[in-house]
Amino acid sequence: MAAIVVLQVFIVQFGGSVFNTVPLSIEQWVKIVGATASILVIGFLVRTVYPRIKLGYTKEVINR
């Protein structure tokens, strides 16, 4: 996983005309990492919290 991240950063920063890229600024990298990290956190919460909420709702309906 880390090797993929390093390779992607290398391609973006130094790929130039070969990969048709331009280097990103530190501010752009921070925004990208922040946006993708938030998606990972939301995905984690959906996979862990939502089933518990759904299960609790199901138990309430069954117990009525």
Q: Which amino acid is at 9?
A: V
Q: Express each pLDDT in 12-43 by its tens digit.
A: 999 999 999 999 999 999 999 999 899 999 99
Average pLDDT, the chain: 86
Q: Record the pTM.
A: 0.61
Residue 59 is predicted with a pLDDT of: 60
Q: What are the C-alpha distances in Å from 1 to residues 6, 9, 11?
A: 9, 13, 15
User: What is residue 1's predicted lDDT score, i.e. its pLDDT?
Assistant: 78
Residues with Cβ within 8 Å of 32's Cβ and at least 6 positions away in sequence, in order, are 24
Q: In whole angstroms, give the CA distance from residue 34 to residue 45.
A: 16
